Amino acid sequence: MNEEMTLEALAERMSGDSSAPYYIAGVLREAIYRGILPEGKPLHQAQLALRLGVSPIPLREALRLLETEGLVTFQGYRGAVVTALSVEEARELYEMVSALETNLLKIAFPRITRRIVDDAAKILDLMDGEQDCIRWRDLNQMFHNLLFESADRPLTLDMLARLRQKTDRNIRIHLASMREESQRQHRAVLAAVVAGNLPGALEALADHLAYTSNDLQSCMRLEQGKKRR
């Protein structure tokens, strides 16, 4: 399937109001995550509007939304361009993610109920069998957020979601190399929560995020090496 067909198929599969900027942004965001719209690629707005069957005005608003997420930038005569994520930026983003997540878990820990634990375990079971990288990413985010929601820190959760949008854009690059170990680490975090072991849960979560960060950086370096050949 060629890129154009893939983008069109993606738009057809996603439900929503095609005149709404948030819907269009969702289609383009997933296209970036899946590599359909590669880093550094100019986004010709007239062509995109035609391919997606949308009007130019909501398309431009959608691109502006993606600009606030760091996925798109406007570069003068080139117009909108898919931004690139450097290895150094990925490392720094995960440092911030780790700081926020461990703090959220510390606050939420006393209020994590058995129902939350059971729901988190069900999500991990679903992740075991999920082969699509974007759906796996969504389930992964659900698992993490379940442990944090009872912290009642909506602003922190919003910031965390924005940071993850930037790192998760490369989930397709390194999921295969890290998913098995990542799942083992998820279950280690959950086991510590069930045991009421806060220090153990915080250590397991920090180790998990450090592992994920290092794996992403390694895979990004390999990808960059292939492009230079």
Encode pLDDT of 40-51 as tens digits.
888 989 999 998
Average pLDDT over residues 189-210: 98
At residue 161 the predicted structure's pLDDT band, cuts being 50, 70 and 90, is very high
SS3 42: strand
Mean pLDDT, the chain, rounded, equals: 91
Domain ranges of the chain: 3-82, 87-228
Q: What percent of the chain has pLDDT over 70?
A: 95
Whether the pLDDT of residue 79 is over 90: the answer is: no
> How many whole angstroms separate alpha carbon 82 and alpha carbon 72?
5
Q: What is the pLDDT at residue 2?
A: 36
At residue 111 the predicted structure's pLDDT band, cuts being 50, 70 and 90, is very high
Q: What is the pLDDT at residue 13?
A: 82
Instruction: Order across the sheet with 80-82: list the strands.
Output: 42-43, 80-82, 72-74
Q: What is the pLDDT at residue 227?
A: 67
Whether the pLDDT of residue 6 is over 80: the answer is: no
> How many whole angstroms separate alpha carbon 64 and alpha carbon 80?
9
Whether the pLDDT of residue 95 is over 80: the answer is: yes
Q: 8 or 163: which carries more pLDDT confidence?
A: 163
CATH architecture of the region 87-228: Up-down Bundle (1.20)
pLDDT tens, 217-229?
A: 999 998 877 766 6
Average pLDDT over residues 16-33: 87
Whether the pLDDT of residue 108 is over 90: the answer is: yes
- What fold is seen in the domain 3-82? Arc Repressor Mutant, subunit A (1.10.10)
Fold match, 3-82 / 87-228: no
**What DSSP string describes 117-143?**
HHHHHHHHHHHHH---HHHHHHHHHHH
- Of the candidates 206, 189, 204, the residue with the CA atom closest to the CA atom of residue 97: 206
Among 33-42, 129-138, 206-215, the range with the most confident prediction by mean pLDDT is: 206-215
Q: What is the pLDDT at residue 229?
A: 63
> How many whole angstroms separate alpha carbon 114 and alpha carbon 62?
40
Q: What is the pLDDT at residue 172?
A: 87
